[in-house]
Chain A
Amino acid sequence: MEEEFIAEAARDILAREFDRVRLHALYDGDGAVADRVWSLAVEMGWLTASIPEASGGLGLPPDVTLALLREFGRCAAPGALLPACVAALWAGRVEGTGLASAIGDGLRMGTLRLAMPALDLCSRIDIAGGRATGRLHGAIGGSGVTAALLPAWHGGEGAVALVDLSADGTFTPGGIWDRTRVIGDIACDNSPVIAILPDRDGVLFDDLLTALRLAIAADSVGGMQAVRGMTVHYMCEREQFGRAIGSFQALKHRVANCYVGEQAATKNFTLASRAFAADARDAAVLARMAKADAGAAYLRNAEESLLLHGGVGFTWEFDCHIYLKRARLNAAVASSEQENWDSAFAMLGAMAGEACLPGAVAA
């Protein structure tokens, strides 16, 4: 429950420091807002919470970072926090390496502003002589990206590398619908490699994607709860035909359906978080299921929220479109819903013969 205590404090701080006015300022292009939230996160130790102490972090369990990500999702916090927290979750898996320390130190000081694969999960950069070359489309980053955590080929074998983009290399943000996030293209042009780990069988990169899926699921859980809460509040206030619109059964059932789907998605996220923290055998499949489920539930809640707000829900001034666009991006990052379910099926099928499917009763 430690994570809930920390998350609750973060929720209060964010509600104060990143309120609706600032959210809309961010949306309308005020770059200072994102930097302010980044500094706040660094100052509060949110980014390094679950990085082992030996690697420069606070040494808390991964649940803490995941609970924080949920809070970032609740307030639609700016993009840079997500890749930072994913790297932090992953650093725990490569504890004791130079790469983990580079992540831990960089995030602790706030100087490491990361980008990592989000839409294109197949491309790899090439590394030779400590320098990286190659391109990657659709990476998730934030403002002022300084480095990228990327899958690579190194001497004909797989690797994961942290590449410096501050001088020889670029991260070019694209114009995307979700303005709370930054998605861009990475170009490594003989860029210096800060640290590299061999990843012959791709396990480390898979782990990174598992962390990314969990992070997106966490963000989605926070977001879906926020939009549903906002909608219930509006339905209690808004009156038509002489009564609060929330008293109409046709409308209240739609919110009840949102709530029910939210409970299932939240629970799947919790199951996946627990498996990740325990480094369980089914962590990867549960993360795919949690991401797919939470992505779909977030989208449904965001769509219903916009509709149940009526005309104002369709305006730029209200928050509904902000969450809807964020939900859409979440659905696209780290494989589509369909791809995640299909891959989950393959993983379940491979485990089925062992009579030990995820969640199976103790053998």
Chain B
Amino acid sequence: MILQHMHDETAFRSAVRDWLGRILPQRPVPAEHASSDVVPVAAQRWWMAALNQVGLGTPHWPGAYGGVDMSPRLQAILVEEFARAEAPPLDIFMISLNHVPVTLMRWGTEAQKRRYLPEVREGAVWCQGFSEPGAGSDLAALRTRAVRDGDHYVINGHKIWSSFSMYADRAILLARTDPGSTRHSGISFFLMDMKAPGVDVRPVRQANGKSKFAELFLTDVHIPAVDRVGDEGQGWAVAQTTLSAERGLYSLENSERLHRAMEIFLREAVAQGRPWARDSRLRARFAELFARLQSIRALIRDLLFAEDHDGAGTMIAAATIKILFSELRRDYGAFRIEVDPVESVYIGDDTEELSANPMFASLTSFGGMIGGGTNDIMRNIIAERGLGLPRG
């Protein structure tokens, strides 16, 4: 058992590595064609189930809710090993594993926790219904309405950029309960059943060809009043908790995967004597990108292992890392296209992981600079809250 080694980092790492060596060869082969817009999720569901079998599905959760209170250090070892072994990602579970528990543990009723947290541990997929066509960076401008009608609310509105909502069982939702309100007041926080009548999910195809997120058209959707989190009008405060969900490990996993990919790319280029590996300017460019990655990996670890998470400092560090990493992905994508301009013209006609394609990586990187708070919003946060420049 892996969990019995939690007192010893070295033994823990080798137990994880052994297990990965046994389990990963059993991963299902994606059925989707590379040029299809469908994101391969079967491997993710299989991986979540496999993790649960050895107690690693929700290691970061407190013991009281079925987790094992795993230290950030051990969690970091887990993601390092997952990246090293090229385990499937857990993107579709991002909201359910992180945002839902952090919100419910702080604001949820006992009944909500008892009902939804075990479900999440079993692998339920949740999505987030926050952004709207008219409320992106300016989330407080949201207009989706929730009208109380006896023991339930009636929801009407339009949500967008909701990742993996086409696979979701439930959603966390922000809607305005006070029709006369504007901005942060009058918003409430709900838990919505995605199978409820009136929920219409329409995938949005991204620039890279994949449909990772969707629009939610909500027409007279009924949500029981017991599925409101926090008081009426308290939704903005609840959402702040949701958005504070620890993304450090997710960032760490992504940066570890990129480190792994760059290592392999370099090794192959040198071994195969690729022309770019003899071009002084491109060699220098690679080294510069590699150095940026090393600083990011170290900055993420600093954030993860910080003893006290004061609000402002954590926010500034997270914004800094977000800008650095998303721009590194953009620049590395551009670099890979530059060293192989011809191959980058083609999509590739097999079911292999499309992320290996330079143009795909480059296109996908643009999403990283927009999603999760655009990089320009991050710059505002850094300038105003970090450097103390006056608000505009």
Contact = CB atoms under 8 A, between A and B. Distances in A.
B342 interface: no
A259 B386 contact: yes
B291 A246 contact: no
Interface string B250-262: 0000001001000
A264 B295 contact: yes
Interface string B75-97: 00000110010000000000000
A253 B390 contact: no
A252 B291 contact: no
A348 interface: yes
Contacts of B283: 341-342, 345-346
A216 to B, nearest CB: 15
Interface string A158-194: 0000000000000000000000000000000000000
Nearest to B265: A352
Interface in A249-285: 249, 252-253, 255-257, 259-260, 263-265, 267-268, 270-271
Given A255-B389, A257-B379, A353-B271, A341 B284 contact: yes
A256 B80 CA distance: 30
Contact of B288 (A260, A293, A357, A359): A293
Contacts of B267: 352-353, 355
A94 B291 CA distance: 29
Contact of A252 (B288, B298, B379): B379
Contacts of A253: 376, 379-380, 383
A9 to B, nearest CB: 24
Given A292-B288, A348-B266, A352-B263, A263 B388 contact: no
Contact of B298 (A244, A260, A267): A267
Contacts of A264: 292, 295-296, 299, 324
A319 B263 CA distance: 42
B383 A255 contact: yes
Contact of B390 (A247, A338, A342): A247
B20 interface: no
A260 B325 CA distance: 11
A342 B290 CA distance: 12
Given A259-B387, A264-B299, A349-B277, A344 B380 contact: no
A252 B381 CA distance: 10
Contacts of A200: none
Nearest to B322: A260
Given A289-B291, A341-B288, A259 B299 contact: no
B392 interface: yes
Contact of A352 (B259, B270, B387): B270
Interface in A335-363: 337-338, 341-342, 344-346, 348-349, 352-353, 355, 357-362
B384 interface: yes
Nearest to A229: B387
Contacts of B145: none
Secondary structure call for the B interface: helix
Given A253-B379, A256-B379, A268 B291 contact: yes
A256 B295 contact: no
Interface residues of A, number: 45
Contacts of A257: 379
Contact of B297 (A248, A349, A359): A359
A187 to B, nearest CB: 33
A346 B271 CA distance: 13
A257 B296 CA distance: 15
Nearest to B387: A232
A361 B73 CA distance: 13
Given A348-B266, A357-B263, A247 B389 contact: yes
Secondary structure call for the A interface: helix
A263 B299 contact: yes
Given A260-B323, A292-B288, A341-B287, A252 B280 contact: no
A247 B392 contact: yes
A361 B78 CA distance: 11
Given A235-B389, A247-B391, A265 B295 contact: yes
A133 B296 CA distance: 47
B382 interface: yes
A100 B283 CA distance: 37
Interface string A126-148: 00000000000000000000000
Contacts of A248: 392
B294 interface: yes
B299 A252 contact: no
A249 B294 contact: no
A267 B283 CA distance: 22
Interface string B294-310: 11111100100000000
Given A293-B295, A349-B270, A249 B382 contact: no
A236 interface: yes
A243 B389 CA distance: 12
Contacts of B81: 361
Given A259-B320, A338-B280, A360-B263, A345 B287 contact: yes
Contacts of A289: 287, 290-291, 294
Contacts of B263: 352, 355, 357, 360
B13 interface: yes
B285 interface: yes
Contacts of A249: 380, 392
B47 interface: no
19 contacts: A247-B390, A252-B380, A256-B383, A257-B379, A259-B383, A263-B320, A264-B295, A264-B324, A268-B294, A270-B298, A293-B291, A338-B280, A345-B277, A352-B263, A353-B271, A359-B294, A360-B259, A361-B84, A361-B256
Closest 4 CB pairs of A and B: A341-B284, A252-B383, A345-B283, A256-B379
Given A337-B284, A342-B284, 9 more contacts: A232-B387, A247-B391, A256-B380, A264-B296, A348-B287, A349-B270, A357-B259, A361-B80, A361-B81
